[in-house]
Amino acid sequence: GKVLVTGANGFIAIWIVKKLLEQGYSVRGTIRSESKGKHLKEVFKGYGSKLEIVVVEDITKVRVCTDYRRVYSRSDAIGASTRSNIPHHPPTSARTIRTTLITPAVQGTTGILRSALQHGASVKRVVITSSTAAVLTQDPNPRVFSEDNWNERSIGEVETKGREAAPFDKYRASKTLAERAAWNFVEENKGSIGFDLVVLNPPFVYGPILHAVDSVENLNASMQDWWAAVSGKKDNKFLATVGSSWIDVRDLAHAHVLAIQKEAAGGNRIIVSEGPYKWQDWELAIAVNAAHAAEPKLPAGNSSYEPAKAVHYIRYDVARAKKLLGLEYISIQQSAKDVVENFKEKKWIA
């Protein structure tokens, strides 16, 4: 079969492309400008014509529909993955929140679905990379979230506070509204669409870098956080008390492939998460690996941290991912080891 991957040059998307090619799929990847295709072609040159790269400059603009015809023809499944709207400098006015964050997120998602409806007669399934940002709400007490939960609070924060809303609420509102728009689109067009929808909701995604990144400063947002925490830029209190939940990028890519393959996954949003962490857990994972390799090159962090006593306020029930996808997870030790090796190869770690 043939799979379309949008934003194919991104941190997550390039791993999806890799997993698909490894499993024998043909892949059509979209990028926003010609130059972004060079690295992709280089990485996957062994696959020859199995990988096709097309330029779609602005996925939210209807005028690129003729391009979409090309994009979607003969695609059996599409992984409409990978557009991110995390701005490095979050917008400040209410109007820029709407124009730079919410509208592109929603229109990007519905634009892809509309295009698949209009031009993708052979498309059987669409997989969208949402986020646990569309699931969680910050609570004072520890809580377990499932796919039944929707992040209404961030939408309310942005609606009432506008520019004063916290940057994370702006991002979370955009993800929640984009995912909701996708489900609404499928519901409204159920009489005429030939595909079903799977939405994956990952928490923070970490792991080795396969996409084009020239320096550690230009990593994608989640890996910038990872690097800041493990390279000694954060204090002991931060390391022991701040964290979230995570999944390795390779598992998330695998989940996208499974989401295409598993018939029963259709119509579901699915949380995919290895589990919660505090940043010191990454320090410990790195230390364990460094001890084995006898070359501790990164700071050890907070030596009084006790993992068993850490309080994780947000946890996820991942039973659905287990049942529908059979997804297994790479451990924090393995992930840490692989990222450190990857960063050493890139000479980002001496």
3-state secondary structure of 144: strand
Is the CB of 202 or the CB of 302 nearer to ligand NDP? 202
Cβ of residue 303: shortest distance to ligand NDP, in angstroms? 28
Instruction: Please tell me whether residue 12 binds ligand NDP under the rule CB under 6 A.
Output: yes
d(CA 83, CA 139): 28
* Residues 47 to 66 in contact with ligand NDP, rule: CB under 6 A: 59
Region of 2-10, 146-154, 186-194, 276-284 interacting with ligand NDP (CB under 6 A): 2-10
Q: Which of 149, 176, 220, 268 is close enough to bind ligand NDP by CB under 6 A?
A: 220
Instruction: Please tell me whether residue 7 binds ligand NDP under the rule CB under 6 A.
Output: yes
Contact 153, 160 (CB under 8 A): no
Contact 260, 300 (CB under 8 A): no
Is the CB of 12 or the CB of 287 nearer to ligand NDP? 12
Contact 300, 241 (CB under 8 A): no
Instruction: Please tell me whether residue 9 binds ligand NDP under the rule CB under 6 A.
Output: yes
Region of 5-13, 268-276, 318-326, 338-346 interacting with ligand NDP (CB under 6 A): 5-13
Nearest to 223 by CA among 100, 342, 350: 342
DSSP sequence for 4-46: EETTTTSHHHHHHHHHHHHTT-EEEEEESSGGGHHHHHHHTGG
Q: Within 13 A of 298's CA, how many CA atoms are on the CB side? A: 32
Instruction: Please tell me whether residue 204 binds ligand NDP under the rule CB under 6 A.
Output: yes
Instruction: Please tell me whether residue 115 binds ligand NDP under the rule CB under 6 A.
Output: no
Name 55's Cβ contacts closer than 8 Å, sequence gap at least 6: 30, 31, 32, 33, 34, 37, 67
Instruction: Please tell me whether residue 154 binds ligand NDP under the rule CB under 6 A.
Output: no
Q: Which residue is at the shortest CB distance from ligand NDP?
A: 10
Instruction: Please tell me whether residue 108 binds ligand NDP under the rule CB under 6 A.
Output: yes
Token pair listed for 151: 């992040």
Cβ of residue 293: shortest distance to ligand NDP, in angstroms? 27
d(CA 188, CA 62): 19
Q: How far is CA 8 from CA 54, 139, 311, 334, in A?
A: 10, 35, 37, 25
DSSP tally for the chain: helices H, then strands E: 13, 12
Show the site string, 19-38: x = touches ligand NDP by CB under 6 A, - = not: -------------x---x--
Report the run of H or E that residue 207 belongs to, with start and end: none
Region of 11-19, 94-102, 135-143, 273-281 interacting with ligand NDP (CB under 6 A): 11-19
- What pairs with residue 248 in β-bridges? 206
Chain centre distance of CA 324:
19
Cβ of residue 26: shortest distance to ligand NDP, in angstroms? 20
Q: Which of 18, 19, 28, 83 is close enough to bind ligand NDP by CB under 6 A?
A: 83
Q: Which of 202, 208, 243, 276 is close enough to bind ligand NDP by CB under 6 A?
A: 202
Length of the chain counted residue by residue: 350
Is the CB of 11 or the CB of 145 nearer to ligand NDP? 11
Please give the size of the binding site for ligand NDP, defined by CB under 6 A. 23
d(CA 199, CA 178): 11
Is the CB of 32 or the CB of 322 nearer to ligand NDP? 32
Instruction: Please tell me whether residue 131 binds ligand NDP under the rule CB under 6 A.
Output: yes
Contact 255, 327 (CB under 8 A): yes
Q: Which of 19, 67, 72, 82 is close enough to bind ligand NDP by CB under 6 A?
A: 82
Cβ of residue 160: shortest distance to ligand NDP, in angstroms? 23
Q: Which of 3, 205, 209, 230 is close enough to bind ligand NDP by CB under 6 A?
A: 205
Give residues in contact with ligand NDP (CB under 6 A). Answer: 7, 9-13, 32, 36, 59, 82-85, 104, 108, 129, 131, 175, 202, 204-205, 220, 222
